[in-house]
């Protein structure tokens, strides 16, 4: 904040008085470290309002969360991954759900031939999930499904809202892992690729990207 005068360059553009302290007094203390993570509260916050409505809310909230936790909707992680037909256990309206969510062992499915359909180019720098799916699917089960490229856009900004899912204690790990996957690549799976996807790749390239 030096002076910017032309000619006699001694004048500075502000008065010392304007800063709020006169000559000779010490300046404000300089800050030498970042502010503390939990700064001390100067004023105590106002007490919480406790009236009839809030009493009721307290009781209902506890009631609701206990009921939710005890309901069959509350999924516990300890269940076996490949448990048999869960359609009967979960009181969900299954006929309104997409077919892929439904339990295969329960519903009859036409076994479609295994096909890999590459629809369009990968727009992100994610390694081709197509091949990974093919391998995973082959490993996990013998039935086959129509496979797609994972070209979804992700849901962002869940920090504010994801905490509310703790009430039902469901996939709160989901969003964190989503973001991780973008950066990590499965080198092992990618390394020995079969040449099948090679030509498919070229057909679906982004328009306008220069090919070098």
Partner 1 sequence: MEKLSAKSDHIYLGEAIVKKALAVMIQHNLVKFQASERNNNVAEYTMIHHNVYCLIRYPKYLYMIKRIYGTSEEILLEILLNLGQASASNVIFHSANRLNEANDSEVLSPSALHQSFQRLAQDNFIIRCPKLAENATLLKVPTLEIEEKEKFAVPNVEIEPIARMLKEKATQLGGHCDSEIIWRVNHERFDIELRNVILVNAAARRVDTTAGELYHLILKLWRESSNPDSPVTTPVSYNVIKDAVRKNDSSPILLEHFDHYLRVLYEDSAGLIDRAGDAGGGQFNLDYSKVFENLACASLDSIVLERFGSKALRLFRLTRIQKFMEQDQMQNVAMIPAKEAKMFTYKLLEHNFLQIKELKKGTSNFAPVKSFILYHVELPQVVRTTLEASYKGLFNAMVRQMHDLTENQRLLEKHAMLESMLERLKGDGVPDEEIAELSDTMPPAEKSLVEKIHLMSDNLTLGQTQADETILILESYLKFKSKEL
Query: Which residues, 170 to 189, sit near partner 1 by CB under 8 A?
Result: 170-171, 173-174, 177-178, 180-181
In the complex, least distance from residue 55 CB atom to partner 1, rounded to whole angstroms: 9
Chain centre distance of CA 110: 34
CA atoms 158, 163, 166, 172: torsion sign: positive
Minimum CB–partner distance for residue 212 and partner 1 (Å): 28
* Residue 15 touching partner 1 (CB under 8 A): no
Rg (CA), the chain: 31
Which residues are 146's β-sheet partners?
115
Q: Does 160 bind partner 1 (CB under 8 A)?
A: yes
Could you tell me the smallest distance in angstroms from the CB atom of residue 141 to partner 1?
9
186 contacts 132 by C-beta, under 8 angstroms: yes
Which residue among 88, 106, 114, 117 contacts partner 1 (CB under 8 A)? Answer: 117
**Pairing between β-strand 115-116 and β-strand 146-147 as defined by DSSP bridges:** parallel
Residue 207 near residue 107, CB atoms below 8 Å: no
Q: How far is the CB of 210 from partner 1 (least distance, A)?
A: 25
Position 67 contacts partner 1 (CB under 8 A): yes
Q: Which two tokens stand for residue 19?
A: 């800063």
First to last CA, the chain: 51
Q: Is 115 in the site for partner 1 (CB under 8 A)?
A: no
Show contacts with partner 1 in window 43-62 (CB under 8 A).
Answer: 43, 45-46, 48-50, 53-54, 56-58, 60-62
Binding to partner 1 (CB under 8 A) within 136-155 occurs at 136, 140, 146-148, 150-155
């Amino acid at each position: 904040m030096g002076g910017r005068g032309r000619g006699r360059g001694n004048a500075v553009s502000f008065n010392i008085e304007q800063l709020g302290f006169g000559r000779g007094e010490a300046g404000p203390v300089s800050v030498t470290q970042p502010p503390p993570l939990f700064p001390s509260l100067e004023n105590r916050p106002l007490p919480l309002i406790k009236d009839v409505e809030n009493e009721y809310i307290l009781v209902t909230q506890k009631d609701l969360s206990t009921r939710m936790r005890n309901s069959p909707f509350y999924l516990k992680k300890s269940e076996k991954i490949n448990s048999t037909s869960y359609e009967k256990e979960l009181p969900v309206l299954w006929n309104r759900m997409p077919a892929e969510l439904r339990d295969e062992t329960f519903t009859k499915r036409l076994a479609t031939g295994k096909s890999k359909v590459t629809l369009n180019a990968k727009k992100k720098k994610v390694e081709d999930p197509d091949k990974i799916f093919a391998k995973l699917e082959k490993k996990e089960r013998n039935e086959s499904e129509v496979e797609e490229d994972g070209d979804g856009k992700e849901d962002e900004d869940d920090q504010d809202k994801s905490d509310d899912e703790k009430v039902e204690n469901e996939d709160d790990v989901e969003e964190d892992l989503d973001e991780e996957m973008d950066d990590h690549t499965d080198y092992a799976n990618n390394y020995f690729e079969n040449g099948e996807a090679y030509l498919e790749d070229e057909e679906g390239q982004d328009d306008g990207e220069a090919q070098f």
